[in-house]
Structure 1
Amino acid sequence: MNHVEGGWPKDINPAELEQTIRFRKKVEKDESYIHSILHLGSVMEHCIRQNNAVDIYQEYLEEEEEVEENQELPFAKTINVFRDPNEVKRTVTGLSWHPDSGRKLAAAYSCLEFQKTSKDMSLDSYIWDVENPNVPEMTLTPASPLVCLDYNPKDPHTLLGGSYNGQIGHWDTRRGSQPVEVSSVEQSHRDPVYKIIWLQSKTGTDAFSASTDGQILWWDVRKLSEPTDRLVLDLGREGNLDRALGASSLEFEATMPTKFMVGTEQGVVVSCNRKAKTPAEKIVCSYDGHHGPIYALQRNPFYPKNFLTVGDWTARIWSEDIKESSIMWTKYQMSFLTDACWSPIRPSVFFTVKMDGVLDVWDILFKQNDPTLSLKVCDNALYSLRVQDNGRLVACGSQQGEVTLLEICSGLSTLQKNEKSLLAAMFERETKREKILEARQREMRLKERSRSEQSRDEEGGREEGEESPDQLIIRAEKDFFSMVEAELKKRREKEDEQNQEKVVSKGKEVKAEAET
């Protein structure tokens, strides 16, 4: 309908009037042009008559459709289950969707239980075709089991993987199952790599990784012999590796290229700035909010100031402006939460998985106390979770090597009316409420401090005759012990007198006996 001009040849500049007039005259003289116009005219006439007969913009049964949508209960259905093809089953520790089509899913398999690995356990991880659950499309063969995997958003043929022994591997699917390059053991992490993320860069070859050894390492996949940069997560800002916090999750938002966040084993979220001048300035601030390791950390894709964390038995939503407390949180669940992520389509929806095999879908605009949809995916513990970019497909990885693919209903994967503005208002309201509570707490602490200082000043500024409670206690103790001492002295003197009298009376008796 809005089409004005056709495509011009490369040698014609549409902005030059003379060139376009000359080209038009040339085309109009061509015989095939007249035949084409006559042929297309009859087709166009038919379409115009159809449009005149039917109002294509008329909305039929509008009210009924709305009622039907409102009445739909949230649901999810299982599409496929991808099982670990090996006899000894391993935990699905990481998942990554193919960035272009979303028809492929990369899964990292490893055993994270200390010293539970056996000789029969396979090291392989796999790329699955969503429509073929029987056989993996491709095998990735690392030197050590992969804990995490991430597709390159700029080049869908390349993947990065973090291994259990701390090494980083780079795969190109066009070049087979073996990694193209692997980082050296000496320059890699000392603990399992729990998260690896591609960075937004011009070359599309930069990434960074996090491990429980307390280090964040930056890499250029063209040269994995050594990291390009390093950060030690020491909150004392001295770069001491012995005091560093172990990183269990990592977050990077492409719209904030200099910022990144790290979730630690100690339940602390560390906010960092990569472009700071000194290593000490790279650690900006920290948020303390969980009793155990933070297994998931992600900024809201629509409101990056607000981020989601999962650790212990709760999921928490934070605001960057408030460091003392989260602005929203779920009730304590009956089992540990192991992973979480936001919906890429609906800003108010996020997903969590638990150790009891349950997937929870939360819509915080609908209700905050309970999940909107709770689904028992399998009997084993769920360890990993990834949502496809269209928000419809969710993949959950279990302890026994099963990746369950679920399709979420349209109600939970379609943007709702006024959702963005309502959620923005909710986040703002909750942030304001926490700020007021925080100010109140600060005020109470200041009052308490001033009261204690005042009482200390009063003690110091007493008159010479007055004594403090501590001094009175000391004096009372002294008086008590001096009275006891005096009483003991009296008793000793009395005993001495009695003994002397006895001696005198005995002498008199002896003298009398001698005289007689």
Structure 2
Amino acid sequence: MDHRREELERKRAKLAELRRQREERKQAAMQSREQQPAAVSKLDTQDINDLVNSLVGERALSPTGQPGAPRAAREAPGASRDRSISSATSVGTQAGSPVPGTATPGTSPNPATGAAAAAFAAAGAAGGLRIVPAFTASSIVVFDFPPREKIVYNKEVQTADTGVGERDEGRLTEDEIERRVRQIREKDDRARAAREEERARREAEAQARESEVRQLTDEQRATILESREFAAFVDQRSRVLERVLDEKYDAMVDYTLAAATESDDAGGEGLKLAVAFHDDKLSRNRSVMDLAWSTRFPELTAAAYNRNPMAPNEPDGVVAIWNTHLRERPEFVFYAPSDVLRVSFSDFNPSVVVGSAYSGQILLWDTRAKAQPVLKTPLTASGHTHPVYALRVVGSTNAHQLITASTDGLVCSWQLDMLAQPQEALELTHPAHLRTDEVSVTCMDFADNETTAFVVGTAEGAAYHVNRYDRAGCKAGLNAFDAYRAHAAPINSIHFHPSIAADFSDLFVTTSSDWTMRLWRARPAAKPASTAPTDIRPLHTFDAFDDYVYDARWSPVHPSLLASVDGTGRLALWNLNQYVELPVHAAATGRALNRLAWDRPGRRIATGGVDGSVYVYDVGDLAAPRPDDSARFTRVLAELAD
């Protein structure tokens, strides 16, 4: 503020000084005007009259209007000045008296007249004094314009003379004509060659300027390498190159040879390991907790990892998006503040990935955003406060919801764009439990085209029907009287049969830590609940396992094909149309496998285990259904039900 005030004071002082100088100049000009009339007044009036008479001399007119000397006599002979505008002023005195100051023949001019003329000229030059004497005069203005110049055009042909006339052309010989034509062509060729040479020189200079390598200092190089823009650019472009290099297409194939046209990927019987994903920095000391394929991009699969106990400074939970065409590193990496137990792609938004954590939080990541969750539920009593082992997105494109269930028996419904609090909350209780009425939910699944009723698996080894809303004969909540009770250990997974050609949507399989896998037929959801405790028995029990059975999934395209993984690290394929006691094919990894997932076309299976690696197997021809598989599977189910 002080600086601004000083600047204003300086400007005011400068303006005051300018005003003072302007006043001084004005006073000096007024004093000069006052002094000039006083100096002129000293001149004698008679001298002024004599000066005027001497100046107008021969051009003066008599008072009676008689002209003095003729015009030819008044003008000096031989005068060549510009006569565009001339004026004469006649001054008269008394009638018949001669004009003072006029020189007559034989007389000399009056010396006083010269002195007066000089004084008058000096006075006029000094201040532009205007003196108007009382003259009786008349003025004549003569305008003398020079004649306009007349422009004449020559109507001849206005072309350059070539030096050869029509007559000369007839006299030229053929040799002369050929010589001239040859000269003209040589001149054109030289001009064209000069232009090409100039163009080539300019292109060479431009290439030389472009090829000049800019030498960077160590500081500039370090700044560029550490910038986020450079790191993002290198990361994105290197992924593109790795995807291209992963293609197995042989560009040097010889199509003339029959052997070269045979494809190695034509398929075959059995399981083939297609790719194994492992990152020492990412998955070291971590286990794969869940797997999910993208419904929009069949080459992407998401893997959820738990915490690394040997690295307390690293994020507890990690979700890696692996690409089958990018084998060395994941396409995206997301982090979570707790172990990620379940993960799923949204069927209605391909860029959204949803996960559940051990802390009870529901997390939402976006592939267009950074590695941290874009939305997550708060750690409050309004949502989950126990581990969430069950997660499923149900509904349609315009109306879909996220359904989650935690180990304290709380089932919540969420909107994906608002995770501050659940839209609905349902507590599952079982009065027959001895110590607590809470139901510890370990897994959950919906039948196809069903959004209001589902089946949950519990830690006690039983599965129950759950209704989200009240319906005829059934209340909202857990149906404790109709129980799928056969397992002697916690149920690890539940999966309903997908709707393919025939309707097998009432079938589902469960896996348990009691080393068994069981096939069930679900009770119709529209049927009223039982009024007395009823245990529903399984259709079949698969007991060809030597360890915990962690997961089982139906094929999305084959009606009788399902896959399972267990604690021995074995991936088993079961075709119930062929055998119901033993798998038709199996592949072992040597480490326990926790989860498996089929891709949407049903050609590949992704598995993950305790070593943090993700193995993708090609099923081949085993996944291709036959036209009569649905009918055969119907007969198999009828035999199992008997």
Q: Shorter-chain TM-score: which interval?
A: 0.5 to 0.7
- Alignment partner of 1:234: what SS? coil
Letter in 2 for 1:419: D
- Whether 1:287 aligns to 2:484 is yes
C-alpha contact 1:214 1:241 (8 A) present in aligned 2: no
- Report SS of the residue matched to 1:124: strand
Q: 68, 72, 83: which is aligned to 2:278?
A: 83
Q: Does the alignment pair 1:132 with 2:326?
A: yes
Name 2:595's counterpart in structure 1: 384
Matched residue, 2:114? none
* Preserved CA contact (<8 Å) 1:109 1:146: yes
* Contact map agreement 2:442 2:491 (CA 8 A) in 1: yes
Which whole-Å CA distance do the structure 1 matches of 2:558 and 2:454 have between them?
23
Q: Which amino acid aligns with 1:408?
A: V
Cα distance, 1:282–1:214 mapped onto 2, change above 3 Å = closer
Matched, 1:233 2:428: yes
Q: Please tell me whether the aligned partners of residues 448 and 505 of structure 2 are also in contact (alpha carbons under 8 angstroms).
A: no
**Counterpart residue type for residue 271 of structure 1:** H
State the Cα distance separating 1:127 from its structure 2 match: 0.8
> 2:510 maps to which residue?
309
CA distance in 2, matches of 1:281, 1:188: 19
Correspondence 1:366 to 2:572: no
Which residue of structure 1 lines up, in the alignment, with residue 303 of structure 2? 107
Give a deviation string over 1:209-255, Cα, whole Å, max 9, x none: 122222211111222111111222212399x9942121111102341
Q: Does 1:338 align with 2:550?
A: yes
Structure 2 residue 293 is the aligned partner of structure 1 residue 97:
yes
TM-score (norm 2): 0.53
CA contact (8 A) 2:428 2:477 kept: no
Paired residues of 1:347 and 1:423 also in contact (CA < 8 A)? yes
- Note if contact 2:447-2:497 (Cα within 8 Å) is conserved in structure 1: no
Query: Is the 8 Å Cα contact of residues 237 and 283 (structure 1) preserved in structure 2?
Result: no
Give the structure 2 partner of residue 268 of structure 1: 462
Residue identity matched to 1:95: L
1:416 is matched with which residue?
626
Structure 1 stretches of 5 or more lacking a match? 1-68, 434-516
Measured in 1, the distance between the counterparts of 2:511 and 2:442 equals: 11
1:74–1:372 contact (8 Å) kept in structure 2:
no
TM-score where L is the length of structure 1: 0.65
CA RMSD of aligned residues (A): 2.5
Q: CA deviation at 1:358?
A: 0.5
Counterpart of 1:381, as a letter, is A
CA distance in structure 2 between the aligned counterparts of 1:429 and 1:391, rounded to whole angstroms: 27
SS in 2 for 1:174: coil
Q: Distance in 2 between matches of 1:121 and 1:365?
A: 48
Structure 1 CA distance, aligned partners of 2:395 and 2:386?
26
SS in 1 for 2:494: strand
1:178 aligned residue (363, 372, 377)? 372
Q: Quick check: 1:361–1:372 contact (8 Å CA) kept in 2?
A: yes
CA distance in 2, matches of 1:344, 1:231: 31
Q: Per the alignment, in what secondary structure is the counterpart of residue 638 of structure 2?
A: helix
Over 3 Å counting, the alpha-carbon distance change for 1:169 and 1:354 in structure 2 is same
The CA distance in 2 between the partners of 1:344 and 1:202, in whole Å, is 21
SS in 2 for 1:107: strand
- 1:192 corresponds to: 387
Q: Which residue of structure 2 aligns with residue 299 of structure 1?
A: 496
Query: Aligned partners of 1:84, 1:75: CA distance in 2, in Å?
Result: 27
| 3-state secondary structure, aligned to 2:368 | helix
Alignment deviations for residues 119-175 of structure 1 (CA, whole Å, 9 cap, x no partner) = 155432211111112111111122222111110111111111101111001112112
Rounded Cα–Cα distance in structure 1 between residues aligned with 2:435 and 2:352: 32
Aligned equivalents of 1:147, 1:121: Cα separation in 2: 17
The whole-number CA distance in structure 1 between the counterparts of 2:361 and 2:291 is: 18
Report what 1:35 is aligned to.
Answer: none
Q: Does 1:399 align with 2:610?
A: yes
Distance across 2 between alignment mates of 1:111 and 1:241:
31
2:419 corresponds to: 224
Name the CA distance, whole Å, in 2 between partners of 1:348 and 1:132. Answer: 32
Q: 1:395 to 1:106 in 2, by over 3 A?
A: same
1:210 is aligned, of 402, 405, 411, to 405
Distance verdict in 2 for CA 1:130–1:204, change over 3 Å: farther
Q: Could you tell me how far apart the structure 1 residues matched to 2:491 and 2:419 are?
A: 28
The equivalent position to 1:259 in structure 2, one of 436, 442, 453, is 453
What is the rounded CA distance, in whole Å, between the counterparts of 1:237 and 1:206 in structure 2?
31
Find out whether 1:148 has 2:342 as its counterpart.
yes
Take 2:432 and 2:452, find their aligned partners in 1: how far apart are those partners? 19
SS at match of 1:428: helix
Q: Is the contact between residue 84 and residue 90 of structure 1 (CA under 8 Å) also seen in structure 2? A: no
Aligned residues, how many? 356
Taking a change above 3 Å as real, the CA distance of residues 229 and 307 of structure 1, as seen in their structure-2 partners, is same
Q: Using the alignment, how far apart are the partners of 2:310 and 2:537 within structure 1?
A: 39
For the residues of structure 1 that align with 2:331 and 2:599, how far apart are their CA atoms? 18
| Per-residue CA distance 1:422-444 (angstroms, 9 max, x = gap) | 1122223423x2xxxxxxxxxxx
Percent identity, please. 24
Structure 2: unaligned runs, 5 residues or longer: 1-265, 524-533
Change (3 A) 1:348 1:325: same
Give the distance between the partners of 2:401 and 2:573, measured in 1 at CA. Answer: 33
Counterparts of 2:300 and 2:313 in 1: how far apart (Å)?
A: 28
1:399 Cα deviation (Å)?
0.3
Give SS of 1:141's match: strand
Residue type of the alignment partner of 1:304: S
Q: Deviations over 1:179-222 (max 9, x none)?
A: 11110111332222112110114535510112222221111122
1:329 and 2:530 are equivalent in the alignment: no
The 2-side partners of 1:360 and 1:330 are apart by 12
Structure-1 separation of matches of 2:306 and 2:399: 27
- The equivalent residue for 1:492 is none
Matches within 5 A, 1:20-99: 74-86=269-281, 88-99=284-295
Structure 1 position 280, deviation (Å):
4.8
Preserved contact between residue 237 and residue 280 of structure 1 (Cα < 8 Å): no
- The structure 2 residue matched to 1:158, chosen from 341, 344, 352, is 352
Question: In 1, Cα distance between the equivalents of 2:432 and 2:549?
Answer: 31
Which residue identity lines up with residue 552 of structure 2 in the other structure?
A
